[in-house]
Amino acid sequence: MDSGKSIRSLAVSLHSLLGLKAHLTSNWVKSVSEIIKTLPTEKSVDMQPTKSDTDDDGDSISKIQDELTVLNNHINQLNIKRRQILNEFFDLKGNIRVFCRIRPIAFGENLGHLRPVVASNSNEVVLKLMENKSKSYNFDKVFHPGSSQDEVFTEVEPIIKSVIDGYNACIFAYGQTGTGKTFTMEGSADTTGIVPRAIEALFKQAVDCNHAFLISFSMLEIYMGNLKDLLVPKPTKATDPMPPCLSIQTDPKGGIEIDNLVAIKVNDFNQALRLYRLGCRFRTTASTNSNLTSSRSHSMIRVAITCFDAAERRRETNKLWLVDLGGSERVLKTKAWGKRLDEGKAINLSLSALGDVISALQRKRHHIPYRNSKLTQVLKDSLGDDSKTIMLVHVSPKEEDLCETICSLNFATRVKSVHLGNEDTIEAKEQKGVAMADLQQEMKHIEDERLLVRSDIEKINKKLENLTGTNPSSEEQLEAFHSLIKDQLTKSRIVDITVTPLSKVPRFMRPTICSKRKSGTGHQTSEGRDDTVLTRRRRPTSHRAESVSFPVKDHSEYNSDRSISRSSCLAELNMKISADNATECSQDTSETDFKSNGLQEQERAPGSLISQKVGISHIQKNSSRQVNKINHIKFSKVDNWLHLQKSESTLSSCSQRTKRVLAVPIPERKHKTNVQSKADEKVQDYVYTKQEVVNHDKLNNHATTGAVGKPISEVVIEKPLKMLRDLFNEDSRSDVTTPLQTTGGETTIQVQHSVDGSLTGDSENDTSSPPDECSPRLEECEDGNGVNAMSTTQAPEGKIQSSDCFLLKNSGCSECYPSELYTTSVCSKRDSGVSFSMLELESCCQQAPTESNMEDSETQGFYSFQPSEKETRHGLLQLKSQRALFTNSENHEDLAVPFGKPEGKAQNTGICHVVKQKIEILCSSALLGLGLYNLGFDHDFFYGLML
């Protein structure tokens, strides 16, 4: 009996049987049970119309289904066309697009009489260098200080379409510290930034698209050159297990994978947003002189998108990187010290490497130096030709930030300029503009057509629903699809990876401390945490024994993320606390410590596809193929994950964004004499109390009212503008007259110069790193203005960094090498970590204190000045030799004082004085060479020599 017949004849049969109920026999019972047995299920009744219905409706259903197929094909064609047009558009615009955003002056910000120096129109930034001199930079788009987050995102949005089309993409914010990178990417409470908007747009467009997507979210930071997973909280107790270390792997196709990076499947925007907020909380920030919540790392968000049923997509799995880079900073200005200094150096170094990579890409160089930093390694497959990149360079409008602004704009120009020196002609530009406008128009047509087709599909789906009683686009269909996948998942072989305690592993297979450091375990040293505490970690606590699955991607393009059953790994660790006391680091779970194991059923998340309004037949057709792939991707539920993290974070007190750290840690004074300590205290007081920018007026006041003499370095820091004027106008250098300008004298500033560089030979203690070790960012001038700015160079760890150096060139482009920096850099008190360019020093010499000022400073007994009245350059010369005396930090203060003693005004004038001072230089240098300063000769000895 077929099911349709049975239903129709059911009533008749029952009726006839009931008619015989008086004669209930075994036959009757048999007949009823026969009927019941052959009854079709409710579902099949719905799904399978009766024969007569089929006869009636069959044609119309198959017609509708055909129509649906045609429309689906049509929409797919439109998607392909849209992708092509978008690509053409990007080809014209450039796969790497550069926007510039100018930060507004904050309310209450102390500008003094320093004027804003940055002006802009929609494509151009104009820097007012002097009254009659300016320099302009062109970008794809410039956002003036009043631009809203909306405006910014509107420009960024097209890249999201490319992501849907299967391209890797990267949006990153670059700029000086405190210029608004985090504001642009993260946004504020009122105005969300690019990250949340981009993710929202991605989900929206995924829904609009005719495919099913699987989207996962990851977040990491690169802190001091190490990768840290921001979705895994830092261990807070000695007993907490270390998070698995992240390492970068390259697959045979050149795709980049990050081993052990947590990737959490997200079904909608809200889930992603919650994870993003969680990750932001764990980001390393600290207070610096430039920014109260300065990001001390590069924060990177990865949204991976997988779509199995779209052949027209560029890749099956692609990713979007949203990167908030750490701020480039000049040590001179931020006065960073200790850890802050190291962080700044690490940031600058990786930014420099990023610039090199992009530059090499733009120039189509054979070798792209990706391996120079973790940042470029991670972004390797998202920066090349086949990906889309947007860089947002941030600048400050303030006059005092002009140096950094020039550096940032030069960097951005370097990124942008596709063919340096081959700028498009006006005609070519116009043609490009027309072509782009055409493409945009065409794109709009396609979008409109897509909307029409989509509405047709919806109508047809409704019709189909009426006929069949089902809705292919309904939630039930989705559920059916999900449960199908789930069933397949349970049936299939599931591989999971759990941690094997190191005690189980033979000793020779355990990672050494060095190998861990190399593989990135070093990042687990959290801020303010003692390394030794971490290394003594023995046993995880039970509260962490909750299941979390880490993703496994075996067959995707990025298939190295591993799956970890945390519960089992912790259980194992708990069991095996055994006496592996010999290995202090045995708790560190590096990638070598994993092995395959079974995954608990409850750890598996349900299907998570952002399913589109597709017909069930389409889904069924592809489901088996998808299931095979999905088998290899397992994610934890967002809620579970967040719950876990919440409990972790409540237990932890780590790195909230509000947590601040002192910008300038107190330097060690262990070995200093009492006198020295007192003097240092004064300097320290000054450093801590001086937070605001002192403008020219204040400086003038200092000079005229005989204010306390400051270390000359401070004067320089507060006077960047004059230095710049000097830079851009040679004439002005000779004309500069400030109330502070006095004759040069003896100061405690030390100068490193090519002349004495050979004498001192103390490069390892010095402000600049050796040329072969430092990696300067070389800026190339793009016009004949002759303005070359060289940004901060990187010194290797433990070395103090050289500051920016400006070189005046009258024509052509040139590159500035570390050696040049060497010869031009001038440092102040060596252990202050502050250094100057030669020009800065010149500038500061011109601003040497007045006599009254000098007297005051003399009474301070430290950093006293004895400026001569006219020869500032002569003073500079004199300073150069004194640099040689400071090869030993313990001695240098003692030696400094006699040079700082006043000589009297009369002695400082005339040719004799110059000659005398030159002799002094030679004597001092010779003494230094003989090592006499180490033989106990004190001030008087040196002083006597000079008289």
Ligand X SMILES: Nc1ncnc2c1ncn2[C@@H]1O[C@H](COP(=O)(O)OP(=O)(O)OP(=O)(O)O)[C@@H](O)[C@H]1O
Q: Which stretch binds ligand X (CB under 6 A): 99-107, 130-138, 578-586, 814-822?
A: 99-107
Q: Alpha helices of 513-563 — where are they, by DSSP H?
A: 513-518, 531-535
Query: Closest distance between ligand X and the C-beta of residue 495, in Å?
Result: 41
Measured from the CB atom, is 224 or 609 closer to ligand X?
Answer: 224
What are the b/e assignments for 385-416, b being 16+ CB within 10 Å?
Answer: eebbbbbbbbbbbbbbbbbbbbbbbbbbbbbb
Rounded least distance, CB 343 to ligand X, Å? 10
> Could you give the CA distance from residue 544 to residue 562 in angstroms, rounded to a whole number?
19
Instruction: Please report, to the nearest 10 degrees, the dihedral formed by the alpha carbons of residues 327, 329, 334, 339 taken in order.
Output: 70
The answer to whether 260 and 551 have CB atoms below 8 angstroms apart is no
* Closest CB to ligand X among residues 341, 827: 341
| Stretch 358-397: interaction string toward ligand X, x if CB under 6 A | ------------------------------------x---
Q: Give the one residue of 166, 243, 327, 709 binding ligand X; rule: CB under 6 A.
A: 327
- Report the nearest approach of ligand X to the CB of residue 194 (Å): 12
Tell me how far apart the alpha carbons of residues 233 and 249 are, in angstroms, rounded to a whole number: 23
What does the alpha-carbon distance between residue 263 and residue 608 come to, in Å, rounded to a whole number?
13
Q: What are phi and psi of 266, to 5 degrees?
A: -125, 135
Helical H segments across 48-118, by residue range:
51-93
Is 345 a residue that touches ligand X (CB under 6 A)?
no
Closer to ligand X by Cβ: residue 114 or 708: 114
**Nearer of residues 176 and 377 to ligand X, judged by Cβ:** 176
State which of residues 103, 265, 414, 516 lies at the interface with ligand X (CB under 6 A): 103
Interface size with ligand X, residues (CB under 6 A): 19
Residue closer to ligand X by CB (options 149, 887) is 149
Question: Is residue 408 involved in binding ligand X (CB under 6 A)?
Answer: no
Token pair recorded at residue 62:
């198959």
The distance of closest approach from Cβ of residue 291 to ligand X in the complex, given in angstroms and rounded to an integer, is 4
Q: Which stretch binds ligand X (CB under 6 A): 98-106, 223-231, 513-521, 644-652?
A: 98-106
List CB contacts of 718: < 8 A, sequence separation 6 or more: 693, 694, 695, 698, 699
Could you write out the DSSP letters of every residue in 207-234?
HHSSS-EEEEEEEEEEETTEEEETTSPP
CB of 392 to ligand X, least distance (A): 11
Q: Retrieve residue 285's tokens.
A: 């920030």
Residue closer to ligand X (CB basis): 173 or 246: 173
Reduced to 3 states, what is the DSSP secondary structure of residue 85? helix
Q: In the bound complex, what is the minimum distance in angstroms from residue 108's beta carbon to ligand X?
A: 12
Q: By CB under 6 A, name the one of 40, 94, 104, 770 that touches ligand X.
A: 104
| Angstrom distance (rounded) from CA 398 to CA 55 | 79
Helix axes 194-208, 269-281, angle to 10 degrees: 160
- Residue 158 touches ligand X, criterion: CB under 6 A: no
Q: Which stretch binds ligand X (CB under 6 A): 269-277, 290-298, 367-375, 895-903?
A: 290-298
- x/- string (CB under 6 A) for ligand X, residues 292-311? -xxx----------------
What DSSP designation does 104 have? P
Report the distance separating Cα 248 and Cα 253, nearest Å. 14
As measured in angstroms, the least distance from the Cβ of 235 to ligand X is 25
Shortest Cβ 180–ligand X spacing (Å) = 2
Closest to ligand X by CB, 335 vs 380, is 335
Beta carbon of residue 345, minimum distance to ligand X (angstroms, whole number) = 14
327 versus 849: smaller Cβ distance to ligand X: 327
Which pair of tokens denotes residue 533? 């505490």
The amino acid that residue 272 corresponds to is A
**3-class SS shares of the chain: helix, strand, coil, % to 5:** 50, 15, 40
Q: For residue 29, give the nearest of 41, 16, 17 by alpha carbon.
A: 17
Restricted to residues 512-551, the positions that interact with ligand X (CB under 6 A) are none
Distances (CA, A) of 234 to 295, 658, 930: 17, 16, 53
Q: Which is nearer to ligand X, 338 or 898 (CB)?
A: 338
Site for ligand X in 174-213 (CB under 6 A): 175, 177-183, 188
Q: Which stretch binds ligand X (CB under 6 A): 173-181, 447-455, 609-617, 842-850?
A: 173-181
Q: Is 344 in the site for ligand X (CB under 6 A)?
A: no
Which of 216, 291, 387, 924 touches ligand X (CB under 6 A)? 291
Rounded distance between C-alpha atoms, residue 52 and residue 56, angstroms? 6
Q: Which is nearer to ligand X, 351 or 844 (CB)?
A: 351
What's the closest the beta carbon of residue 778 comes to ligand X, in angstroms? 22
Say whether residue 777 binds ligand X (CB under 6 A): no
Dihedral sign, CA of 705, 707, 709, 710?
A: negative
CB closer to ligand X out of 327 and 540? 327
Residues that bind ligand X (CB under 6 A): 103-104, 106, 175, 177-183, 188, 291, 293-295, 326-327, 394
